[in-house]
Amino acid sequence: MAGALEGRVALVTGASRGIGAAIAERFAAEGAHVAVTARSLHTHSAHLPGTLAEVAARLRDHGVRVAAIGADLSDPAERPRIVREAEAALGAIDILVNNAAAAYYIPFERISEKRLRIAWELNVRAPFELCQLVAPGMRARRRGWILNVSSATAMHPQGPPYPDFYRLHGPTVYGLTKAALDRMTTGLAAELFGDGIAVNALAPVAAVLTPGVEALGVVPKDVPDLIEPVELMAEAAVVLASGDPATLTGRVVYTRPFLAEVGRDPRALDGR
């Protein structure tokens, strides 16, 4: 039986580990040819495991074509190259997943100019420019799906009094960039609606314990309500990347409520 994404070409950023790798594998299980990009091509950083080469090997096990593109998305010059190499290897991009992000949890007084600039470049400008790069082709084919991976930190803190997470752990910069990403999502959905292109944003309800999140150390592992499996993000991504752009667009959704809304149970990353 053909998968929901059979034969489509997807580009997933930040895909050497965590949510990006999970979405890429779930897409491959649904028959998509997938380009994955991140900084870690053959070697990983000293404190985070996972490489694009390892992810690409898992994706190829699903019998699809794969391109692994090492690049630093915080560098504007790298963004056109990523799209060029993805399309040269796999063909025109049908699905763009903007997942790569810089997640700084630091009180705002201690955020340096460099970190603020990187957060804005990676979390807002890079997704915006990648959308600019793939939209013309999607317009010409009159079909496309753009998915921006957001965060619950985009929501306004409720108070006073305010929860300790917002008072002590410094999610303000990360949250403000994700709030900008959400607004970009709904704006682009409106602009691209007449061209058969869906634009949506997806966030987890709770923290997904990716290697990056574990390294930050802001989520207690012994509180189950604060943690959710990565499979929920991957399953919701499949729904959003295969839905009808005429009806499923301009949404900023959260995993559990969205999957309940569409009556979908999550599968393992291999599609089983």
242 is catalytic: no
Q: Domains plus CATH for the chain?
A: 9-262 (3.40.50.720)
In which band, very low, low, confident or very high, does the pLDDT at 47 lie, cut at 50, 70 and 90? low
Catalytic residue among 74, 105, 151, 178: 178
pLDDT of residue 50: 85
Amino acid sitting at position 248:
L
- For the question of residue 178 being annotated catalytic, the response is yes
Res 1: pLDDT: 47
Single out the catalytic residue among 16, 174, 242, 254.
Answer: 174
Whether the per-residue pLDDT at 223 is higher than 50: the answer is no
The least confident of 1-10, 148-157, 250-259 is 1-10
Instruction: Name the residue with tokens 């380009």.
Output: 35
CB atoms within 10 A of CB 251: 17
| Residue in the structure block whose two tokens are 């009556």 | 263
User: Pick the catalytic residue: 150, 151, 242, 254?
Assistant: 150
Say what the pLDDT of residue 42 is: 84
pLDDT tens digits, 100-145: 999 999 999 999 999 999 999 999 999 999 999 999 999 999 999 9
The structure tokens 């990565």 sit at 230
pLDDT at 217 over 70: no
Q: Is 174 a catalytic residue?
A: yes
